[in-house]
Structure 1
Amino acid sequence: MYDTILVATDGSDSANRAVDQALDLASTFDADLHGISVVDTRRYGDSMLSDSDSVISDLKARAEEILTDVGIRADVDVTTTVRRGRPHEEIGSYADSIDADLIVLGNRGLGGSGEIGSTAERVVRYLDRPVLTA
């Protein structure tokens, strides 16, 4: 049913639930698993951070740690990537490049409001691929 699964994570609680779901699905369907974490500098004021290589480097390092944790938790091989930009656009672009059969992500990210998060909403609304939110 699924040959290639993409899980997007920002390290939030709901993203961790999504990772658990993606790991189970990849194991069940013997699917290739890809993980992506997007450094969204707009969240912190991209124009202010554009000249701050150390801050961006720290954000990328944190994203790499999050993806390393995904690999440690997995009983399948995980291909990971860190991207910088608008999360839903980067998730969509990467999903296209690997021809993902399914995208798995948390229903809200680090913002943590009670409603569906903006990234999850945009992925569900604008990407032409099956999406599972957790």
Structure 2
Amino acid sequence: MYDTILVATDGSESANRAVEQALDLASMFDAELYGISVVDTRRYGDSMLSDSSGVIGDLADNAEDILAEIESRADVDVTTTVRRGRPHEEISSYADTIDADLIVLGNRGLGAGGEIGSTAERVVRYLDRPVLTA
């Protein structure tokens, strides 16, 4: 049913639930598992960070650590990438690149309150692929 699964994570609680779902599904369907974490500099203000490669580097290092944890927990091989930009656009672009059959992500990210987060809402609304939110 699913040959290629993409899980997007920012390390939030709901993203961790999504990772659990993606790991289970990849194992169940013997699917290729891909992980993406997007450094969203808009959250901190691009103008503030544009001259600060150290801060961006720290954010990218954190994203790498989050993805490394997925790799260590997976029963299947995981291919990971860290990207910089608008999260829903980077998730969409990567999903197209790998021809993902399913995208799994948290329904709220680090900055979201009690409602669905903007990234999850945009992914569900604009991507022409099945999406599972957790």
TM-score range relative to shorter protein:
over 0.9
List alignment gaps of at least 5 residues for structure 2.
none
Deviation at 1:111, TM superposition (A): 1.4
Structure 2 counterpart SS, 1:95: helix
Amino acid at match of 1:81: T
Distance 2:30 2:80 in 1: 17
Please give the TM-score of this superposition, normalised by the length of structure 1.
0.99
Distance 1:39 1:102 in 2: 22
List alignment gaps of at least 5 residues for structure 1.
none
Distance 2:111 2:90 in 1: 19
Amino acid at match of 1:90: E
Q: Which residue of 2 aligns with 1:25?
A: 25
* Number of equivalent positions: 134
Q: Which residue of 1 aligns with 2:6?
A: 6
Distance 1:112 1:43 in 2: 11
RMSD over equivalenced CA pairs, Å: 0.5
Distance 2:34 2:128 in 1: 18
Percent pairwise identity: 84
Over 4 Å off, 4+ runs: none
Deviation at 1:112, TM superposition (A): 3.6
Distance 1:75 1:52 in 2: 37
Please give the TM-score of this superposition, normalised by the length of structure 2.
0.99
Q: Which residue of 2 aligns with 1:131?
A: 131
Q: Which residue of 1 aligns with 2:49?
A: 49
TM alignment of 1:62-73, pairs within 5 A: 62-73=62-73
